[in-house]
Structure 1
Amino acid sequence: MKEQFLQRMKEYLQEDYEAYVKTLEEDAYRGLRVNTTKISVEAFLQLSVCECKPSAICPETFYIPHQEKGLGNHPAHLAGLFYMQEPSASSAVEVLDVQEGDWVLDMCAAPGGKSTQIAAKLQHSGLLVSNEIEAKRAAVLMSNMERLGFSECMITNARPDELAKEMGGWFDKVLVDAPCSGEGMFKKHAKAMDDWSVEHVASCAMRQKLILESAYETLKEEGILVYSTCTYSMEENEEVVYEFLKHHDDMELLDCQVNFGRSGFSYRDLDVTKVRRIFPMDQGEGHFVAKMKKHGQAVMSRKKEVADTTLPMFAQAFLKSQLAKQPAHTLLLQDKLYLKQTPFLKLKKIHILRQGILAGEIMKNRIEPHQHFYSASLHQDKFLQTYDMCDEECHLFLQGHPLSVSGYKGYTALLWHQHPIGFAKGDGMVLKNKYPKGMRIR
């Protein structure tokens, strides 16, 4: 651990410094969060995936043993029933207090922990725009959103200022989980420690202030903005919030109104009792959260809906053969079929990676289904043809093997404990494996 960093922490924490230093020798906290769009917390615990200890931060989040291995390949994980997330990382979304029907922007969303938490709270209502500026990280974000099966989401790859121009005044809630120096991640990511310097902290703070300016533009009047980081430095936390409020007198700092963590570090006349900090001594790995409300009038950008596509007969036949309830909105774009509960939106200059559920692709006057169609939680109890696999069959399926099951013809949703995990194509004698090759386990 760098001496300059430790000296700063000693000045910040004072009498709590020794307790903090002691935590550096301990294992980092690990956890998971249950995806309640697919399964209730009670039903998940009955699956006995692993030992789960409740967290006071979020009712869907649990601590798991540090030595627990292989959860990424567990059928419950691959079916999107949970997301691996250290409990304190769920704090920002708990403070955001998302309600069904909200329009929400997650401005710095990769790898997707907070976006998947927001989407679960929306329960297929409203809109979530999950944005990531880096293309590779945006691909990871899309993969996680797809696995957990969300439908009313738009995944974008854009700069914050581009979002501000096209989505001005759109959102009830905006989350800025800002890129930071990662001081709270030192135990988990050695590179964050290697990259640390006072200059890096200052550079992060400058970037954070710019991102907040764009976030401000996307907020509705009376909208809520939550700013969070996974770092300890005052420059990236209290100072950023103070400077932002100083430049926007229509923004009010609100009390986070939660029962976890502790007050912030004293900084000028900022009321640090209203912000939350979480340290390893507070059963977390290091987070800062501030909640603000916009009272000023917003400059609204125009929202333009895309007209639904009249589907060709073969596409209609595919959907009718698969689903007991048909989607509310459909869109064909570059031979790909998308489904949504609410209307599709058109953006001029924003790179949209995914909007709604990718159901499949047109190939020679037929639909070749996509994994997202079967992972979508919106569909999980609506498939007309399903096969519930035993654990042994599920393991074979996830490895890419066909299943010797007769009596099924056409595309079939394959289930594990009644939860869709993928699909196969039956010929009456065998279920041919359609699980994506890049997702198969060894």
Structure 2
Amino acid sequence: MTTHKPLSAGWPLAFLEQMRAQLGSDFTEFESALVQPTPVSIRMNPRKMAGVATHQYGSAYNINDLAQVPWCPETSPVRAFYLPERPSFTLDPLFQAGAYYVQEASSMLLYEALRQTVNLNRPMRVLDLCAAPGGKSTLLASVLHPDSLLICNEVIRSRVSVLRENLDKWGYPNVVVSHHDPEDMNNLTGFFDVVVVDAPCSGEGLFRKDPDAMQEWSEDSVQLCSARQKRILAAAAPLLDKGGVLIYSTCTYNDTENNENVRYLVNSGFRNRPLILPAEWNVVEKQAGDLETGDAVGYQCYPHRVRGEGFFISVFQKTGFTAPVKLDARTFRTIRALRTREAASAAKWLQNPADFSLWEKPNGDVMALPKALEKTFLFLDSALKSKGFGLEMGQFKGTDFIPSHALALSTAINQNLPGLALSKEDALRYFKKENLVFDEPVKGWLLAQYEGLNLGWVKGVGTRVNNYLPKDWRIRMDIKEYI
């Protein structure tokens, strides 16, 4: 009989002792779960579902055969599924098109937390404070009212580019990507209805998925993480309007980073908002007895109880008042409105141009701002120093308009623009940034498409089709065995 190597042979002893104390008789099941394969889950983009229903995910199964993530069911705007194995997502053209996001299932509980505590049918201002790589940001974009503002902030500069790429793939025009320390956003006091803090943590819940995280763990690192989390929460609290909702989450198990920060928030002008989760989900309610409440103050996913990784989430409502910042779109800004002739030319690339105003950055980039959010975007142009917002459309070169890759992937693009349907082989060659050759000549700008979804731009020159995929998006894997 084959037995697995005891975790205690290679795992931090202090971590194992912590989990034995926390789980009691459940520890043996927890230990066994950590040597099982990591579940693979995907979440669909509700605006890019066309053509995806029978898509093959690297094997002989399609979306209709897959088990659903319980808290993202068929009836929700964020349908999510488990895959029986992990395919090469990089080499799936629909992944590159933003048809779905590969997200750990436990962390999708964010949707249920939102559904139970905020009105998703009205426009709101929402901040994802620690956003990269973009899993929770794309989930937020999917469920918020289309006239909501979503700011996705990342502190670490090297992670901003992957956040921007994932949000470009998702294709929603009401999104801002910013790069600020939380303390630097103090000119947005009282501005938000919802703030999501998926805090940097010790990563205990990801040890199965990322063994390297285990090597960095120590009791001291847990204390350092908890202190950093409190600093982030202290900066986040003033950004909420009175009655606003703060959602705090980590991918860890220990009380120092979870329950202690719950206590910190309750003692800082917030009350906890308990959730009602079905018992069959097997999510554990966490208590903090010294808060003198019989309600759960947080919810913990364990890998031996749910089909997912370790994850903690808690929800709070702000009870105190912070004087809100006043919007003034007349303050200094860096963009200018397009001239009438330019605007008319650029508007042709949009499905509903009347819903947008068109602007130009100092570098010549043309951007489309949803009119419902125009005043807010113009205010943010001066309120945030390091940001990108609106739909990046492209640039004028003389009288010609050069469309951007973000426009190709946007859900706001004109659906009647000419396209070029590609086979999977040609789609992969496109993502290798190879020029494509066809029997029949094509001319002008065309949308490279796969199974009805846009991949990016090509431009026909006779029988040759030039490839306008941005070089930073080029895949470097060998595709020979996949075509």
The TM-score with structure 1 as length reference comes to 0.92
- For residue 191 of structure 1, what is the aligned residue in structure 2? 212
Of 108-117 and 303-312, deviating more is 303-312
Aligned residue runs from structure 1 range 272-351, under 5 A? 273-281=296-304, 282-305=306-329, 309-312=336-339, 315-316=342-343, 318-326=345-353, 328-334=356-362, 335-341=364-370, 342-343=373-374, 344-347=377-380, 348=382, 350-351=384-385
In 2, the alpha carbon distance for the partners of 1:257 and 1:104 equals 23
Query: Is the 1:314–1:365 contact (alpha carbons within 8 Å) kept by the matching residues of 2?
Result: no
In 1, the alpha carbon distance for the partners of 2:469 and 2:397 equals 18
In 2, the alpha carbon distance for the partners of 1:270 and 1:19 equals 31
In 2, the alpha carbon distance for the partners of 1:201 and 1:69 equals 34
Distance 1:290 1:405, change over 3 A: farther
In 2, the alpha carbon distance for the partners of 1:113 and 1:329 equals 29
Give unpaired runs (5+ residues) of structure 2.
1-10, 74-78, 479-483
- For residue 252 of structure 1, what is the aligned residue in structure 2? 271
- For residue 249 of structure 2, what is the aligned residue in structure 1? 228
In 2, the alpha carbon distance for the partners of 1:304 and 1:414 equals 41
Corresponding position: 1:94 with 2:94: no
Of 24-33 and 312-321, deviating more is 312-321
Distance 1:351 1:134, change over 3 A: farther
Corresponding position: 1:176 with 2:197: yes
Query: Is the 1:322–1:385 contact (alpha carbons within 8 Å) kept by the matching residues of 2?
Result: no
Query: Is the 2:288–2:297 contact (alpha carbons within 8 Å) kept by the matching residues of 1?
Result: no
- For residue 7 of structure 1, what is the aligned residue in structure 2? 17
Of 127-136 and 31-40, deviating more is 31-40
Give unpaired runs (5+ residues) of structure 1.
none
Corresponding position: 1:146 with 2:146: no
Distance 1:401 1:428, change over 3 A: closer
* Shift in Å, 1:95: 0.8
Distance 1:270 1:54, change over 3 A: farther
Query: Is the 1:95–1:257 contact (alpha carbons within 8 Å) kept by the matching residues of 2?
Result: no
Corresponding letter in the other structure for 1:337? V
Corresponding position: 1:113 with 2:135: yes
Distance 1:324 1:113, change over 3 A: closer
- For residue 72 of structure 1, what is the aligned residue in structure 2? 90
In 2, the alpha carbon distance for the partners of 1:317 and 1:403 equals 33
- For residue 49 of structure 1, what is the aligned residue in structure 2? 57
Corresponding position: 1:358 with 2:379: no
Structure 1 residue aligned with 2:430, among 374, 397, 400? Answer: 397
Secondary structure at the aligned position of 2:52 is classed as: helix
In 2, the alpha carbon distance for the partners of 1:77 and 1:314 equals 37
Corresponding letter in the other structure for 1:148? W
In 2, the alpha carbon distance for the partners of 1:363 and 1:267 equals 65
CA offsets 1:58-102 (integer angstroms, 9 cap, x no match): 232211224x23112201101100111111121124312361422
In 2, the alpha carbon distance for the partners of 1:198 and 1:434 equals 49
Corresponding letter in the other structure for 1:232? Y
In 2, the alpha carbon distance for the partners of 1:386 and 1:318 equals 19
* Shift in Å, 1:318: 4.1
* Shift in Å, 1:111: 0.7
In 2, the alpha carbon distance for the partners of 1:73 and 1:116 equals 21
In 2, the alpha carbon distance for the partners of 1:203 and 1:211 equals 12
CA offsets 1:237-273 (integer angstroms, 9 cap, x no match): 011111221232xx21111223331111555336462
Corresponding letter in the other structure for 1:105? L
Of 129-138 and 382-391, deviating more is 382-391
Query: Is the 2:242–2:321 contact (alpha carbons within 8 Å) kept by the matching residues of 1?
Result: yes
* Shift in Å, 1:406: 4.3
Query: Is the 1:254–1:293 contact (alpha carbons within 8 Å) kept by the matching residues of 2?
Result: yes
CA offsets 1:13-47 (integer angstroms, 9 cap, x no match): 1121111111121112221111112216xx53322
Structure 1 residue aligned with 2:125, among 77, 93, 103? Answer: 103
In 1, the alpha carbon distance for the partners of 2:420 and 2:439 equals 9
Query: What percentage of residue pairs aligned between the two structures are identical?
Result: 27
